[in-house]
Amino acid sequence: MPAASNTLQEGEVVEETIDQILAKAISELEAAADAESVAALTVKYLGRKGEITGFLRNISKFQPEERAAIGKRANQVKQELDHAFKATAERLKHSGAAAKERIDVT
């Protein structure tokens, strides 16, 4: 019985870690000033060597019973970040285009 309790605690720590990655990414995204910085954040978190990708690669180190729940949460975070990055990049692109249209160079 104690092993199940330890396993659950390890899983909880992992979920906190993935949630910490999510919080850090959202915080950095809110500070992003332009589409280029959003693209850099996308690579940092979702790229081949990104934080989420690295986290997903390490799931194999956990007990088979935990992997499904941990993987599911990590994929949810990955999808949330992907959507947030795309939405922010689109918003910044449109606000930048609108600002360019308003500039009167005469």
The predicted pLDDT at position 5 comes to 32
pLDDT (tens digit per residue) in 42-93: 999 999 999 999 999 988 888 899 899 999 999 999 999 999 999 999 988 8
- Contact between 41 and 26 under an 8 Å Cβ cutoff? The reply is no
Angle between helices 2-31 and 35-46 (to 10 degrees): 160
Longest dimension (CA), the chain: 77
pLDDT (tens digit per residue) in 7-29: 444 555 666 689 999 999 999 99
101, pLDDT greater than 60: no
